[in-house]
Amino acid sequence: MQSMRNTPDFGKIKKKIMRKIYLIWMVKRLTTPFALETFGLILVFILLTEYISFINIWHNSQGLIFSPFGMAGFLFSAFLSTEILTKILIISLLVFLSFFLKDIFKTAQRYVFPKLIRI
């Protein structure tokens, strides 16, 4: 009686099964909420660079750097005068950024800053 390990098809079957297992593992790792939020944040930022010239915004706001209210007013008026697609992308960026920061702080609270006293 011949063992299954000695058949020539066993290596092919093993490679095929292991390839599927690795694919499932990779998909599970890439579809975590943190990975999806990071991907969304990067994608929205790349799309924003197509519609917004950040260098021109920086040059136009040079005199307002040391005035927080002046900078806020400048950014708010710039936001109000943009197209609707740009507004949607900016709001999407802020939403993805808030989820991203929430996950960062949650992870830092859990692993970096240990719980000192619990009552």
- pLDDT bin (cut points 50, 70, 90) of residue 7 is low
Please list, in sequence order, all residues whose beta carbon lies within 8 angstroms of the beta carbon of residue 45, skipping any fewer than 6 positions away.
Answer: 93
pLDDT score, position 87:
93
- pLDDT bin (cut points 50, 70, 90) of residue 98 is very high
- Rounded to a whole number of angstroms, the distance between the first and last alpha carbons of the chain is 67
For residue 118, pLDDT over 80 is answered with no
In this structure, how many other beta carbons lie within 10 angstroms of the beta carbon of residue 34?
A: 13
Least Cα distance to 35 among 105, 106, 110, 103 occurs for: 103
Run of H or E residues at 68: helix 68-80
